[in-house]
Structure 1
Amino acid sequence: MAGAAARDGVVSTRDSILRATLKVVGEVGVGGLTNRRIVAAAGVSLGTLTYHFPSQTELLREAMLLFAEEETAKLTAIVDAHRADGLDLEQGAAVVEQVIKQLPFGTDELAPHELYLQAARDPALREASSRCFAAYDDLAIAILRALGVAEPERLAGHVVALIAGLQLRRFSTGVDVPAAEPLMMLLRGAQV
């Protein structure tokens, strides 16, 4: 796995390139992504970049998957930390809102949104994008199941879409949008 070396404290050249790609995409968007910008951010040569990633599509796909892997691991650790708390739905929604508020708010967090939009333009990235959203769905299922929600598989995609939409609104307006109330509305509405 791409992130395994990074978790052990050793960042491979490949991981450095992927992280630099995410950084550049977050700063200038996919349209501004150039090999020169990537190699400058990664501190590698152009030859090294093209050795590891012969195409930009492959580079973007792998960067997207690295982000999803690390994001899922981070969020899963948060879920696991609260799993034994025996939270009810409202407490769980409040925890989700706190987690969202604690997420960084900068160019690094814009990169995945840029990549998801690029996947809409480039069918070669859609499989990676689907895997990212499947990881979020799995995480939502685990959270909903831990909260005792009936049919968590049916609701997971809706919860992910709600949170992603709130994050997109936060990024595009610069204003924190509370998540607990709309999340509770969604979950209560599903139980009717």
Structure 2
Amino acid sequence: MSAREAILRAALRVIGEQGVAGLTNRRIVAEAGVSLGSLTYHFPSQTELLRQAMLLFAEEETKKLTELAETQRTDGISVEQAALAVEQVLAGMTFTTDDIAPLELYLQAGRDLGLRDATQRCFAAYDELATTILAALGVPEPRQLAGPVVALIAGLQLRRLATGEAPSASTALTMLIHGSGG
């Protein structure tokens, strides 16, 4: 792993454990096992570090979810089966520091406009994935429904993280999709 990648992964771990407010150069270099000079060479500002960490997460998340979508698409599943698969994925999430870090970065993008392009790219990837799955399921106007589907899933994840429980994702997704005329 390169020093740059080690720094990005360390930043995500620190953000997941301490939040963006706990992200200090000393913590990052200690976690990454690199020098302070290496950190400032690769990332001249904290905004750039956060932006690149968000993009790394988005790239890896998109790849993972695209692979999942491809396996589901080849199985010829129904809307209800797809919704149940999403619920199973959500239920299997343990909300480790790796899972919490992106949520912290999304919130930070509300405070720091320099992060908005990275978070917009991340959500665009989620929307594209949702559009692909909805189209494969034969849902009419999948692009229009993708944003609400992504918002529903993100909201359910946030609710589960904050309360420890969430309503049925499969029921909510099925109702949203069928309510759209699908």
Q: Aligned residues: percent identity?
A: 65
**Amino acid of the residue matched to residue 152 of structure 2?**
L
Paired residue type of 1:147: L
1:21 aligns with 2:23: no
Residue type at the aligned position of 2:144 = R
Root-mean-square deviation (Å): 1.1
Partner Cα distance (1:168, 1:179) in 2: 12
How far residue 175 of structure 1 moved from its aligned partner, in angstroms, is 2.3
Contact 1:170-1:176 at 8 Å conserved across structures: yes
- How far off is 1:104 after superposition? 3.3
Measure the CA separation in 2 of the matches of 1:79 and 1:104: 21
Q: Is 2:71 aligned against 1:72?
A: no
Matches within 5 A, 1:16-165: 16-165=6-155
Gaps in structure 1 of 5+ consecutive residues: 1-10
How far apart in 1 are the matches of 2:22 and 2:93?
A: 25
C-alpha separation in 2, matches of 1:56 and 1:74: 27
Q: CA deviation at 1:176?
A: 4.8
| Residue identity matched to 1:150 | P
- Aligned with residue 2 of structure 2, among 6, 12, 18: 12
CA deviations 1:52-100 (Å, max 9, x no partner) are 0000000000000100100110111111112111111101111111111
TM (normalized to structure 1)? 0.92
Q: Give 4+ residue runs of structure 1 displaced > 3 Å after superposition.
A: none
Q: TM-score, normalised by structure 2?
A: 0.97
Bigger drift between 174-183 and 163-172 goes to 174-183
Mapped to 2, the partners of 1:174 and 1:21 lie a distance apart of: 26
Where does structure 2 lack aligned partners over 5 or more consecutive residues?
A: none
SS at match of 2:51: helix
